[in-house]
Amino acid sequence: MKILKILLLTFIVVFSFARGMRQNNGGDFNVFWKAGQNLLSERPLYEPGPGEREFIYPPFAALFFTPLSIFSLNWGAFVFNLFNFFLWFLSFYLLYKIFNYYIPDPGVLKVGLALSFIFSFKLFWNNWMMVQTNSIILVFSLLGIYYFLRKRENWAIFYFALGTSIKIIPIFFFFWVIIRGTRWALLKSVFWGVLFILLPMMFGGFEKGFSELQYFYQYYVAPFLEDGTANLSYANQSLSSFIYKVFTSLHHKGHMAFTWWDLGLENAGLLKKWSAIAVFGLFLLGLGLSRRKFKEPNILEPALVFLTAHLLSGSTWKAHLVSLAFVYMALFSLYAQSKKGTFLYYYRWVLYIFIGLLTFTGKSIVGHVGQLYIGGWGFWTILMLALLFFFIFSLKEKKRVIQ
């Protein structure tokens, strides 16, 4: 066992070093590293240099990553990827802490963790390869879930606000907190939100800070809210991207078209709008149904949050889907929910097979073109929609395993 630990540690260090030394100013990590430097030196956050990717995140994200600015780009990436591996271990420790209360059988809990580990490994691997930041958002979300389920609302809101201030996707957790929390939940959420908005303004002053906040909203938030624009890359698994890829002739530059049926841009836009409303309505329906049936919050509710956030986001890359580790655990925790021969029983097994196929079907098996079609036809989007429906149906069953 000791030898295995040494080998694992050696692999983590060597792998992190190799990925770190390969980073350049056109990579994902450079976006956060450079933003931290720009904030400290009071340079504009949203003006990328030649060959650099845009910084498309809230200003607080730049403040959060300022400690990396003490390193060079490559050494900062090395250190950060080491941190990413630590967050991976921490994520599954938090999953254990969260689900330990809801799954009384230790054997079943261990099997659930093992399956979640296996099925989500591919998604974490994507983060390590790209030196991405999604594990941070997952850990903050899991901490928020843990404290909220333990009735420690103040800490829960703090962690949800912290995650949302780095990447806006966790903002959906505040619907859960407000619906399930105390009468003061909304006020507390506003307090932490405003605080995290103001903190970056200590660097460069309020005038510069408000200008950058306005720029972030105008160019990165408003366009999606107003017309539902979406990146049409085969890798984007958001609902809007899926609809525009399969129901129009539009396609990403350099990629093939993935059209099922060309409805035209206007009709596809309407379909996207009403589909988004339907998903959000299902999300609220699920939370409302759960609140009516269960006195206390349960583990299916944050699973609904994760799925809704990914579906309604403008961009949902595979690296973002590390949160499916929680969703898979919630799915496996329902082992006692559906009796053999029932609709939910067969539905659950279809989901297991679907997850297995997506996990173990890679480029080496289906080839490059097959991989493009898996992404372009939105198989991960379809999986998330199927999981969303499954959890809502499951809320009809009142079992100890989810209370």
Q: Which residue has the higher pLDDT, 78 or 49?
A: 78
How far apart are alpha carbons 171 and 281 in whole angstroms?
16
Q: Which residue has the higher pLDDT, 398 or 175?
A: 175
Average pLDDT, the chain: 89
* Residue 227 confidence class, pLDDT cut points 50, 70, 90: low
Please compute the mean of the pLDDT values over residues 44-52 and round it to a whole number: 85
Query: Picking from 76-80, 138-142, 290-294, which range would have the lowest pLDDT averaged per residue?
Result: 290-294
* Residue 364 confidence class, pLDDT cut points 50, 70, 90: confident
Q: CA 259, 263, 264, 270 torsion: positive or negative?
A: negative
* Residue 400 confidence class, pLDDT cut points 50, 70, 90: very low
For residue 329, what pLDDT is reported? 94
The pTM of the whole model exceeds 0.75: yes
For residue 338, what pLDDT is reported? 62
Query: Picking from 102-106, 129-133, 235-239, 266-270, which range would have the lowest pLDDT averaged per residue?
Result: 102-106
Please compute the mean of the pLDDT values over residues 373-400 and round it to a whole number: 87
For residue 397, what pLDDT is reported? 66
* Portion of the chain with pLDDT greater than 70, in percent: 96
Q: Output the six-digit token pair for 54.
A: 């845009």
For residue 323, what pLDDT is reported? 96
Going by C-alpha positions, the residue among 25, 20, 81 that lies closest to residue 55 is 25
For residue 235, what pLDDT is reported? 87
Going by C-alpha positions, the residue among 358, 350, 360, 357 that lies closest to residue 387 is 350
Look at residue 230 and tell me whether its pLDDT is greater than 80. no
Please compute the mean of the pLDDT values over residues 303-317 and round it to a whole number: 94
Please compute the mean of the pLDDT values over residues 369-383 and round it to a whole number: 90
Look at residue 399 and tell me whether its pLDDT is greater than 80. no
For residue 217, what pLDDT is reported? 85
Please compute the mean of the pLDDT values over residues 322-343 and round it to a whole number: 83
Angstrom CA distances, 330 to 163, 191, 225, stand at: 21, 31, 30
DSSP letters, 51-100, are TPPP--S-HHHHHHTGGGGGS-HHHHHHHHHHHHHHHHHHHHHHHHHHHT
